[in-house]
Chain A
Amino acid sequence: MLSVGGVYKTFNIGTVNEKTALRNISLNLEEGDFVTLIGGNGSGKSTLLNCIAGVHAVDQGAIIIDGIDVTKFSEHKRAGILGRVFQDPMVGTAANMEIEENLALAYRRGRNRSLRWGISQKERELYKELLRPLDLGLENRLGARVGLLSGGQRQALTLLMATLRKPKLLLLDEHTAALDPKTAAKVLELSDKFIEEGKLTTLMVTHNMRDAIKHGNRLIMMYDGRILLDIKGETKQQLTVEALLQRFGQASGEEFSNDRALLS
Chain B
Amino acid sequence: MLSFCTLSAYGSSLGKRGGCRVLSVTQFCLKRLETGGGMLQIILGAVMLGLLWAIMTIGVYITYRILDIADLTVEGSIAMGAAIAAQAIYSGINPYAATFLALVGGMAAGLITGLLHTRLKVPALLSGILTMIALYSINLRILGKANLSLLRMETVYTVFKDMGVDKNTVFVNLGISQVVPVITLGLLCVLGIIGILYWFFGTEVGCSVRSTGDNPQMSRAQGINTNNMIILGLIISNGLVAVSGALIAQQQSFADVQMGIGSIVIGLASVIIGEVLFGKRNFFSRLVSLVLGAITYRVIIALVLEIGMPANDLKLFTAITVAIALALPVFRSYLSPITKSMKVGM
Contacts and interface: CB of A to CB of B under 8 A. Distances in A.
B169 interface: no
B211 A97 contact: yes
Contacts of B220: 75-76, 79
Interface in A191-249: none
Contact of A118 (B203, B219, B221): B203
B214 interface: yes
A91 B204 CA distance: 21
Nearest to B215: A94
Contacts of A92: 218, 221
Interface residues of A, number: 34
Interface string B107-134: 0000000000000000000000000000
Interface stretch (A7-15, A31-39, A57-65, A104-112): A104-112
Interface string B176-191: 0000000000000000
Contacts of A97: 207, 210-211, 214
Given A76-B220, A97-B214, A113-B224, A105 B205 contact: no
A104 B208 CA distance: 10
B249 to A, nearest CB: 32
Given A94-B215, A95-B215, A109 B205 contact: no
A114 B226 CA distance: 15
A177 to B, nearest CB: 17
B329 interface: no
A106 B203 CA distance: 14
Q: Is the interface of A mostly helix, strand, loop or mixed?
A: loop
A115 B211 contact: no
A105 B219 contact: yes
A91 B222 contact: no
Specify which of B215, B217, B218, B224 lies most central, judged by the most chain A CB atoms within 10 Å of its CB. Answer: B218
A96 interface: yes
Contacts of B223: 76-77, 79-80, 108-111
B225 interface: yes
A79 B222 contact: yes
Contacts of B210: 94, 96-97
Given A94-B214, A96-B214, A84 B221 contact: yes
Range, interface on chain B: 20 to 34
B206 A118 contact: yes
A101 interface: yes
A122 interface: no
Contacts of B217: 86, 91
B205 A94 contact: no
Interface in B194-246: 200, 202-208, 210-211, 214-215, 217-226
A116 interface: yes
Contact of A115 (B205, B219, B226): B205
B202 A117 contact: yes
B218 A93 contact: yes
Contacts of A53: 221
B78 to A, nearest CB: 27
Specify which of B203, B204, B205, B210 lies most central, judged by the most chain A CB atoms within 10 Å of its CB. Answer: B204
A93 B215 CA distance: 7
B215 A118 contact: no
Contacts of A114: 203-205
Given A76-B224, A76-B225, A113 B204 contact: yes
30 contacts: A76-B223, A76-B225, A76-B226, A79-B221, A79-B224, A86-B217, A92-B221, A93-B218, A94-B210, A94-B215, A95-B214, A96-B210, A97-B211, A102-B211, A105-B207, A105-B208, A106-B222, A108-B204, A108-B222, A108-B223, A109-B222, A113-B205, A114-B205, A115-B203, A115-B204, A117-B204, A118-B203, A118-B204, A118-B206, A118-B207
